[in-house]
Structures are given as structure tokens and as C-alpha cells.
Amino acid sequence: MKENIVIVGRKPTMNYVLACLTLFHQGFSEVTIRARGRAISKAVDVVNIVKEKFIPTAKVKSLELGNERLVTERGEVVNLSTIAITLAKE
């Protein structure tokens, strides 16, 4: 598994912004932000905040939508949308 991935979940948006900045400062030139379900909106917020407020040279290098099928504890099948956004610093 690659190390330059930030998975966006239920924590405050700024936690994930900080995680991205930390990875960039560690020397990665690319960071991938992943999320699924309702966290997708937050992932897009993270990308915008990193670009607008902290690293103006960062660009969206790739953007992928997907679909995941999960089986819950009760045996129900749930479809979840996913997103993967790769930010690259010049």
C-alpha cells in the first residue's frame, strides 16, 4: 500500500488538510485523497482548502469516481460511491 494516501472520514475537515500538508512536507510530490459516501463532499473541501490556502502550486492531477459494494453486519448489501483525487505539487 502506498503511503501518500489520505482517507477522509468523519473527523473535522482541517485534520485531513493537515494530513495532506504533512505528506507534502515529508517530500511526496503527490498526495491521493480518498473518500466514500457522504465524506466525498468533505474530500473535495480538503482539496480546495489545500490548493487555495496552503499550496497554490498544487494541481488536481487525476480524479476518479467509483462504486463499492459493502455487506453490513446484518447482511444487507450497500452501494457506496467513492472518489479518489490526486493532488500534485510542482
Q: Give the span between the Cα atoms of 49 and 36, in whole angstroms.
A: 19
Among 48, 54, 70, 78, the residue binding its own copies under the rule CB under 8 A is 48
Q: Give the span between the Cα atoms of 61 and 89, in whole angstroms.
A: 9
Decide: is 30 part of the binding site for its own copies (CB under 8 A): no
Nearer to its own copies, 26 or 53 (CB): 53
Contacts of its own copies in 56-75 (CB under 8 A): 60, 63, 65-67
Task: Please give the residue ranges that form the binding site for its own copies (CB under 8 A).
Answer: 37-41, 44-45, 47-48, 52, 60, 63, 65-67, 79, 81, 83, 85
